[in-house]
Structure 1
Amino acid sequence: MTTNTGANVLAFDGRMGASGDMLLAALLDAGADPDALEPVEAALELEYRIDETVKCGIASTTVDVLLTGDGDSSGQGHEHGHGHDHDRGHDHSHEDHGDHGHDHADDDHEHDHNHDHVHAEGHGPHRSYQEVRDIVAEMDLPAAVEDDALAIFKRLGEAEASVHGESLEDIHFHEVGADDAIADIVGAAALVNDLEPDRIVTTPLATGGGTVGMSHGEYPVPTPAVVEIAQNADWSLRGGPVDRELLTPTGAAILAHFADGVEELPSLELEASGYGAGGYDLDPHPNVLRALVGKGEGSLVKDDIAVLETNLDDATPEVLGGLQETLVDAGARDVSILPATMKKSRPGHLVKVICKPEDRQRVARALAEETGTLGVRDAGATHRWIAKREFETVELELNGETYEVTVKIARDSDGEVYDVSAEYDDAKTVARETGLAIRDVIIQTETAAVGVL
C-alpha cells in the first residue's frame, strides 16, 4: 500500500479579507515561482512589481501591476498618496481609489518606478465578458491555468449580471475588465497552479464594514457583487474588524473558485507561509492575508460540476437506453435514469446528468433533442468529491492460462488506496473462456490487485 505522506494543503487566513493583489503577494511569499507570471506580462505588456513592506511588525510582500507598453494613461495616473487597489469592485468610480481597498499606499513602502511605468489600475476599456474571455484564451497559458481564470471571470460576470439585472452575454465589466484586474486573476491562477495544492481552504473572510462610494451611489460593505459571489461560495463571511472594504469582488471570486470553507485553520505539517500586504495601516490589526502551505490529512478531490435533470413521461425504452452514449458524447460525466411518478399518477422517469460547468449548455441541448423534453433544470450543485482514479492490468493464472483483467484503483489525495474494482467486461470475457462464474473472476482479480499494491 502507498505510504500516507499527507495531502498538499494551501490554507488562507481570512481575518483581514482578501483582494487580488493581496492573493498574488501571499502566494509569492509562500513560495510560488514568479516566473509563472511571465505569460501574463508578455500578453498584456505589464509588469508585476514585487516589493516588501511591514504591517504591524510583520514583514510582508506587496505586488503592484505596472504598464510597460504604450497604454493610454491620461486621466488614470495615480498621484502619490493614493492607494493602488487593482480590484475594488465592478462599479467603483475612479475618484474613490484613495478611499477604500487593499492597496499598497506609497507611505507603506517605496517603489523604484521608471518614468515609463505607470500603475495599471483602471487602464483599458470596460470590456464585455466575451472580450475578457478572448483575451485570456489568447495568452500562452497552461490549460489548467486558463480553465481556472475563465471560471473565475464567469463568477464575476454572473455576479455583475445579477446585480444589474442583465444577462451574462450583455454584461460589461467595469474595473475588473481592465488590464490590472485581468493580471490579478490570471496571475493568481498561475501561482496556485505552480504550488500544486491538493486542497485549498480559507477561514471565514472578513468583509470590513461601513460604506463605500461607487459610481451608482453609496453602498454598505460588503458590496453587492461580493454578496452575490459569496452566495455561491463554500466559505462564509464575517463582518469587521474595521470600517473599511476588506474583501473585494476579485478576491472573493478567486477564493470562491479555489477554496473550501473551514471554521479554523486545519492541522498541518507546515512547510511554508507567506503574507500578502494590503495598503491600509489598520493598527492594531496587521492588514495582511496569510497563506500557509503544508501536509494535511488525505481527502477526496474537489471536482467542479453541474447537475442537470428533467422529468420524462413519454420516453420510449429505446430512447432511454441510448441516452448514456449520446449524452457522454456531448460531455456528460455520468447519467442516471430513475423511475418517477408524474402528474396524474403517470409513470415516468427522472434523468439526472453530471457534467462539467462549461459543458452544461451543450449537454442540456443534447438531452432536449434526444428526449423532446421542454425543459432541463440546473439543479444548482457546484462540486462533488471524487477519488483519484487510475487503471492497472492484473494477470490471472487460471487453468494453466494467463488472462488480463483491468482494475480501477481509487485513491485519496494522499495516494492512499481505499477501493479496488475489477472491470466487469474484462471479468465477463475471462469467465466465458474459463467456465468460471463472473463473481469468482472478480474476487480473484481484486485479491491479486490488492496483493501487489
Structure 2
Amino acid sequence: MTIVFDPFCGVSGDMILSSLLDLFPERRDDVISKLENLGRLLGIELKIKLEEVKRGGIPGKLLVIESDAMRIDNPMEMLRTFSKLCSTMNFPEKISKTGKRILLRIFEAESRAHGVEMRRLHLHETGDIDTQIEVIGTLILLEDESEVYSTPISIGKGYVRTEHGLMPVPTPATAQIMLKSAHKFRLGPVEGELATPTGVAILSEIARPIPDSMSFNPTRIGHGAGSMELKEIPNLLRAYLLSHEKEEILYMVETSIDDVTPEILSKVQEDLGSISLDVYLLPTLMKKGRLGHTLKCLVEGTKLREAIEKIFESTGTLGVRYYSVKREKLEREEVKLNIPIGERKFKVRFKVSYLPSGRRQIKAEYDDLKRISDEVGLPIRIVKEEAERIARKEIR
C-alpha cells in the first residue's frame, strides 16, 4: 500500500488522521471505536466525531475530539501514559515504537526551542489528549507495511498568537522539528500558522519526501479539513492511495575518502547498517593516484538526514552526495518452521520470494543457521542445505 500526503495548505495531527479516515471509510468506525476505548482506559470522557465540512467549496472531513481529560504538562509522564495505552490495548510493537519517536521529536524540539531540559519542560497544546489520539489513530491506519510519501510542506508565514505571545511562523518548536526532518518546506501560501509541531513531527517520522522523478496513479483521495475556513485557499490536507506498484523510491548516499583507516571505516559501516537497507565500501582510485574508498549506503527517505549527519560525524569528510534511486522488489514473505537437525528440532526463519515467472526461492536466515551450527557442531553449509531441503517440501 502506497500513500502520498499533499500538505499544500499545511498539516496538523488532526488533519492527517481525518484525511486517512476519509481515505479508508471501511475502517472508520473500527478505528474511532478503538480510539474512544483509550478514554475508558484512562477513566475519562472521550468522544470522537468526524464531521463533513467544506473548505473552499471542496468537501472534507473535520476531526472533532471532545474530552474532559486534564492536560499532561510533563513529557516523561506523557510517554509513560502512551506506553501504558499501547500495552493495555495490545497494539503492535511498531505502533508503540513509532509513536514514541514522534512524541520525542516534539518534546526534543520544544526543549531546544525553550532552552529547557526535556524532563523540566512544561507542555502546552501538545500535552492535550488530542496529540496521543492523533498519533495512535494515524499509526493504526498505517499499521500495514505502507510506503508513505509527502510533497513539500506549506508552513504559512507571518505571525501567530500563542500562550507565549506573538510568535513568528514557523513557531520555534516547529522550526526545530524542521531542522531534523528530511522533508522540504515552503513559506505561505497565506498568512498565519499552517503547520503544527504535531503535524510536522508525524510526517517527518512516517513519510519520505516524494522524489521529483516519482509518478503515481491515485485510486482514492481523502481530504482532512483544518479547523479554520481560509478565504484564499481550501484548508485541506490531501491523502492519495496509489495503485500497487513493485517500484519504490530510495536514496543512495555516498562519499569518497582517502584519509580514514580501514578499521574506522569498518566501524562506520557497522553503525550505518542500523539505519540503512544496504551499506558497502568500494576501493577507489582518486585524484593524483591516491587510493581510497567510496562509502555507499541505501536508505529510505525518512533516514536520509540521519545517514548524512552520521557520515559527516564519523568520517570527517567534507562532502556527501545523495540521489534518488528506484528499486523493484520481488513479492516476499517470512515463514517460520521447526526443522529437525540431528536429534533436535530448531525454529528457523525462511525468506520465500516469488520470481516474475511464478517460481519460488527459499532462503534460510543466516542468524538462525549460525545459531544451530554453533549448538550442534555441524558446518553451517550442511545446516543450510538440510534446512532448505526440508523447507522446500513443507512450504506450499
- 2:180 is matched with 232
2 CA distance for matches of 1:47 and 1:253? 24
CA shift in 2, pair 1:232/1:146, >3 Å = same
Match of 2:5 among 7, 12, 16: 12
- How far off is 1:251 after superposition? 0.7
CA shift in 2, pair 1:231/1:297, >3 Å = farther
CA shift in 2, pair 1:210/1:340, >3 Å = closer
Helix, strand or coil for the counterpart of 1:190?
helix
CA shift in 2, pair 1:411/1:217, >3 Å = farther
- 1:190 is matched with 140
Matches within 5 A, 1:404-423: 406=348, 408-409=350-351, 420-421=363-364, 423=369
Identity of aligned residues (%): 26
Match of 1:150 among 86, 100, 110: 100
Matches within 5 A, 1:213-232: 213-232=161-180
> Could you give the per-residue CA deviations for residues 242-283 of structure 1, whole angstroms, max 9, x where no partner exists?
112110111111112211111469555544321011133334
Amino acid at match of 2:18: A
2 CA distance for matches of 1:388 and 1:169? 42
- How far off is 1:228 after superposition? 1.2
1:133 matched to 2:79? The reply is yes
CA shift in 2, pair 1:349/1:210, >3 Å = closer
> Could you give the per-residue CA deviations for residues 81-124 of structure 1, whole angstroms, max 9, x where no partner exists?
xxxxxxxxxxxxxxxxxxxxxxxxxxxxxxxxxxxxxxxxxxx3
- 2:193 is matched with 245
- 1:375 is matched with none
CA shift in 2, pair 1:444/1:65, >3 Å = closer
- 1:181 is matched with 131
CA shift in 2, pair 1:352/1:154, >3 Å = same
Amino acid at match of 1:127: D
- How far off is 1:291 after superposition? 1.1
2 CA distance for matches of 1:174 and 1:416? 57
Helix, strand or coil for the counterpart of 1:233?
coil
Q: How many residues align?
A: 317
1 CA distance for matches of 2:375 and 2:229? 70
Amino acid at match of 1:143: F
Contact kept, 8 Å, 2:152 with 2:183, in 1: the verdict is yes
Amino acid at match of 1:169: R
Contact kept, 8 Å, 2:52 with 2:61, in 1: the verdict is yes
Contact kept, 8 Å, 1:202 with 1:265, in 2: the verdict is no
2 CA distance for matches of 1:141 and 1:416? 40
> Could you give the per-residue CA deviations for residues 272-310 of structure 1, whole angstroms, max 9, x where no partner exists?
3210111333345221101122333336899xxxxxxxx
Contact kept, 8 Å, 1:22 with 1:288, in 2: the verdict is yes
Gap runs ≥5 in structure 2: 251-261, 276-304, 311-326
- 2:263 is matched with 339
Contact kept, 8 Å, 1:203 with 1:264, in 2: the verdict is no
CA shift in 2, pair 1:178/1:389, >3 Å = same
Helix, strand or coil for the counterpart of 2:192?
coil
CA shift in 2, pair 1:427/1:197, >3 Å = closer
CA shift in 2, pair 1:264/1:13, >3 Å = farther
- 1:58 is matched with 58
1 CA distance for matches of 2:39 and 2:213? 33
2 CA distance for matches of 1:393 and 1:222? 55
Amino acid at match of 1:17: G
Helix, strand or coil for the counterpart of 1:49?
strand
Helix, strand or coil for the counterpart of 1:282?
coil
Helix, strand or coil for the counterpart of 1:176?
helix
RMSD: 4.5
- 2:297 is matched with none
Gap runs ≥5 in structure 1: 1-7, 72-123, 303-337, 342-347, 358-378, 397-402
CA shift in 2, pair 1:217/1:277, >3 Å = same
> Could you give the per-residue CA deviations for residues 51-107 of structure 1, whole angstroms, max 9, x where no partner exists?
11112221111111112x5x6xxxxxxxxxxxxxxxxxxxxxxxxxxxxxxxxxxxx
Helix, strand or coil for the counterpart of 2:123?
coil
- 1:48 is matched with 48
Between Structure 1 and Structure 2, whose CA radius of gyration is higher? 1
2 CA distance for matches of 1:171 and 1:188? 26
2 CA distance for matches of 1:141 and 1:47? 18
CA shift in 2, pair 1:151/1:351, >3 Å = same
CA shift in 2, pair 1:184/1:53, >3 Å = same
Contact kept, 8 Å, 2:56 with 2:233, in 1: the verdict is yes
CA shift in 2, pair 1:349/1:242, >3 Å = closer
- 1:165 is matched with 115
- TM-score, with structure 1 as normaliser: 0.57
Helix, strand or coil for the counterpart of 2:363?
strand
- 1:376 is matched with none
- 1:22 is matched with 15
Helix, strand or coil for the counterpart of 2:142?
helix
- How far off is 1:171 after superposition? 1.4
Match of 2:237 among 285, 289, 304: 289
Matches within 5 A, 1:373-412: 380-381=306-307, 389-392=334-337, 406=348, 408-409=350-351
More helix by share: 2
- 1:95 is matched with none
- 1:90 is matched with none
Contact kept, 8 Å, 1:405 with 1:426, in 2: the verdict is no
1 CA distance for matches of 2:66 and 2:348? 54
Contact kept, 8 Å, 1:405 with 1:427, in 2: the verdict is no
- How far off is 1:40 after superposition? 2.8
CA shift in 2, pair 1:355/1:153, >3 Å = farther
